[in-house]
Structure 1
Amino acid sequence: MDHLSSGVAAALYAVTLSVTPAASATDLPKLKLAPEITVSGLSSGGYMAAQFHLAYSSQVQGAAIIAAGPVYCAANSLTVAFAHCLNKADSKPDLVGATRYLQAQQQAGAIDDVNNLKDDKVWLFHGTKDATVAAVVSDALTAQYQTLLDAGNIKYINDQNVAHHFPTDGNKGSDCLVSEAPFLGNCQYDAAGLLLGYLLPPLKPKAASASGELLQINQHHLAAVAKGQLAETGYLYVPKSCSEGQQCRLHVSFHGCKQYAGAVGDAYARGTGLNEYADTNQLVVLYPQTDKSAMAPFNPNGCWDWWGYSGEHYATKQGPQMAAVKQLIDALSR
């Protein structure tokens, strides 16, 4: 069983960097960040990226999502998650029900006005060799976004022979047709450049190698609600130009299940290719980190919550993980 579905299955049935210690709020570099944010994510991180995009649409201007389904696909139910949001070819995500839910949450103020999304850019990807998330599930995410913003602002790539991972054009990952830790694919396919180029045009060519700093940050100190929801340590990539006072944009990238630092170290934070583009495009990249938990909230594979293990409000601004990531962003902007 692959890494996303095994993470959910376990829930149903039952880092080291050679840098200084994790930074608290007072230790963070003084950053001059533009107000607009973009997000990306793989698998459970893709679900989280879409949730975050919709919940905080007044600030998030674009999202890139690899191998995930519609927001509120699971409808706070693991049974629904298995039946309609993972790898069953006959999955039928309930977009009508999800729409009703989002409308109700907007009226309650639990997510931002969806009209904010109309001019946003969305980049979606599903590999033809993905055995974890069925094509119909990613198709449903595309259909959901088509109801929320101009179809001309959506790029959906679904014709690449790629397994369930973050495809790269480097040699840091596994065989492109194999989904295995650290879930980076050596595919000669530059997903990082393509997604950033679509969300933030015009994109300058990437650096030959990342020359900025990958900092450890203390998520529990920076976000009051992070303890019990996120790992103590997260990552922040800061290009030299950004640390020296240039205005930079913020991109938040969410890892997948079994891809958190406790499982793969800094492989995701270093290996997607995002950092090399960050260096040449004045882009700070936040890599928030979950952790596994054998007790409530039960999350044995360090997934982001897209089915409700942290509580019924997981897909809204009231969701503990959503609020924690927002607090991290706010801390960086202070």
Structure 2
Amino acid sequence: MANDIVQLRNYNVKKGESSISGLSSGAFMTVQLHLAHSASFAGVGVIAGGPFRCSESFRGAAPLAEDANVQSAEYICMSPLTPQTGPSAPRLAQLAHDTAQAGAIDPLSNLKGDRVYLFTGSRDTVVYSEVVKCTHRFYELLGVASDDILFDDTVPAGHSIVTDNPEDSLLDTNQPPYINQGGFMQSHRILHHIYDGLKAPAPQTSGRLLRFDQTEFFGGEARASMGEFGYAYVPRAVEEGAPARVHVVLHGCKQGYSYVNYVFGRADVTNQAPYGNRYITTTGYNELADSNDIIVLYPQATGADGGGLQNPDGCWDWWGYTSDDPEQPDYYSRDAIQIKALHSMLSRLGG
């Protein structure tokens, strides 16, 4: 990766053929971004993520809407006591219809024909499998054909993206950096499900991993909770003008390049976890993208603790922490600050 900080530029990208995948908070955001801009996407990969607007499942969880969303996120959308106390796919599907009817997201008819990959590790103790099963049902209720959905709950994985790297954590681990070894590259399974006829991954990448200035896409606003830099892998053939597609990869909590643990509200820089850019460089996306003319976009969330922003783990916003009005959050809509930034990056690339 070059040390230069560049601006994203336009490439010869095929319209409507972009895709997204993410883990955990990145998976929840994947569903949100998919529905908000469904006209732009052909498929998604959701690893340990719940359905659209899940954190609004139970307004009665607390007197304040902001607290109720957090309670719903933690105890309904991540670790429900029973399947019956988890999120309701029919209710959230209806909420998606209402949101589209109000014009806050793209028409749901765009979802027809999209490919959806859903994964839950059977040893995941962070986001329970029942939640991901609800996401499966949610997409079916929105009209995505069963044949277009691949749902995998058979792997005894913890909360993680799975790789074949011997250096990564044991498969059933449920702790950072949430990258576990399981004998296969999950990123490859995601891309193969979304796109037909992909070539084998390149044994060695030929393109460039770019570091770009993210702040122009969210105006440098602190409430966006996004890092100063984002990253993009661009294959050499794409640099030279070949038709391309874009795949957006959304990391989970504690996985951004700038993640620092907060202790009593202070950044514990001395004991900073050495996760760095592992999600960008070791999860297998770049090698498969290189041989198939796919640009891989790696936007970055960052952590903050204190003041008006409570996001110490650098999660993507799927419960409303970026919203100006907790009573009427907009974190899921086309106007949400993070979704606007992500789609603007995609648009800059040409997708």
Taking structure 2 as the reference length, the TM-score comes to: 0.85
Counterpart residue number, 2:228: 232
Aligned length: 313
Determine if contact 1:89/1:134 at 8 Å carries over to the other structure.
no
Within the candidate set 241, 249, 252, 1:253 is matched to 249
Determine if contact 2:218/2:338 at 8 Å carries over to the other structure.
no
Counterpart residue number, 1:198: 193
Determine if contact 1:193/1:274 at 8 Å carries over to the other structure.
yes
**Secondary structure, aligned partner of 1:298:** strand
**Secondary structure, aligned partner of 1:207:** coil
Aligned-residue RMSD, C-alpha: 1.6
**Secondary structure, aligned partner of 1:316:** coil
Write the deviation string for residues 65-95 of structure 1: whole angstroms up to 9, x where unpaired: 0011111111171111122111234142033
Determine if contact 1:88/1:134 at 8 Å carries over to the other structure.
yes
Which amino acid is the alignment partner of residue 51 of structure 1? Q
Matched, 1:80 2:72: yes
Within the candidate set 276, 287, 303, 1:276 is matched to 287
Determine if contact 1:193/1:277 at 8 Å carries over to the other structure.
yes
Counterpart residue number, 1:11: none
Which amino acid is the alignment partner of residue 86 of structure 2? K
**Secondary structure, aligned partner of 1:133:** coil
In the TM superposition, residue 281 of structure 1 has moved relative to its aligned partner by 0.6
Within the candidate set 327, 334, 339, 1:322 is matched to 339
Which amino acid is the alignment partner of residue 23 of structure 1? V
Which amino acid is the alignment partner of residue 182 of structure 1? P
Matched, 1:53 2:47: no
Of stretches 93-102 and 186-195 in structure 1, the one that deviates more from structure 2 is 93-102
Write the deviation string for residues 278-311 of structure 1: whole angstroms up to 9, x where unpaired: 0111100000001101233321000001111111
1:203, 1:172 → 2: CA distance?
Answer: 27
Which amino acid is the alignment partner of residue 138 of structure 1? V
Counterpart residue number, 1:10: none
Structure 2, unaligned runs of 5 or more: 57-65, 260-274, 324-328
Counterpart residue number, 1:15: none
Counterpart residue number, 2:213: 218
2:19, 2:171 → 1: CA distance?
Answer: 26
**Secondary structure, aligned partner of 2:290:** helix
Write the deviation string for residues 252-298 of structure 1: whole angstroms up to 9, x where unpaired: 01000000111222110111101110011110000000110123332
Spell out structure 1 runs of 4+ moving beyond 3 A. 224-227
Structure 1, unaligned runs of 5 or more: 1-17
Which amino acid is the alignment partner of residue 14 of structure 2? A
Alpha carbons of 1:57 and 1:226: their partners in 2 closer, same or farther (altered >3 Å)? farther
Within the candidate set 301, 306, 316, 1:290 is matched to 301
Determine if contact 2:218/2:337 at 8 Å carries over to the other structure.
no
Q: Identity over aligned residues, as a percent? A: 32
Of stretches 270-279 and 78-87 in structure 1, the one that deviates more from structure 2 is 78-87
2:206, 2:166 → 1: CA distance?
Answer: 18
Determine if contact 1:308/1:314 at 8 Å carries over to the other structure.
yes
1:307, 1:319 → 2: CA distance?
Answer: 12
1:119, 1:126 → 2: CA distance?
Answer: 23
Determine if contact 1:226/1:324 at 8 Å carries over to the other structure.
no
Which amino acid is the alignment partner of residue 201 of structure 2? K
**Secondary structure, aligned partner of 2:254:** coil
Counterpart residue number, 2:173: 178
1:323, 1:225 → 2: CA distance?
Answer: 11
Alpha carbons of 1:315 and 1:226: their partners in 2 closer, same or farther (altered >3 Å)? farther
Which amino acid is the alignment partner of residue 97 of structure 2? Q
Counterpart residue number, 2:272: none
Write the deviation string for residues 118-168 of structure 1: whole angstroms up to 9, x where unpaired: 111000000011110111101000000111211111000000011101001
Which amino acid is the alignment partner of residue 302 of structure 1? G
Counterpart residue number, 2:139: 145
Which amino acid is the alignment partner of residue 241 of structure 1? A
Counterpart residue number, 1:333: 350
Determine if contact 1:119/1:153 at 8 Å carries over to the other structure.
yes
1:33, 1:262 → 2: CA distance?
Answer: 29
2:153, 2:313 → 1: CA distance?
Answer: 27
Within the candidate set 307, 315, 321, 2:319 is matched to 307
Alpha carbons of 1:182 and 1:210: their partners in 2 closer, same or farther (altered >3 Å)? farther
Counterpart residue number, 2:269: none
Counterpart residue number, 1:33: 13
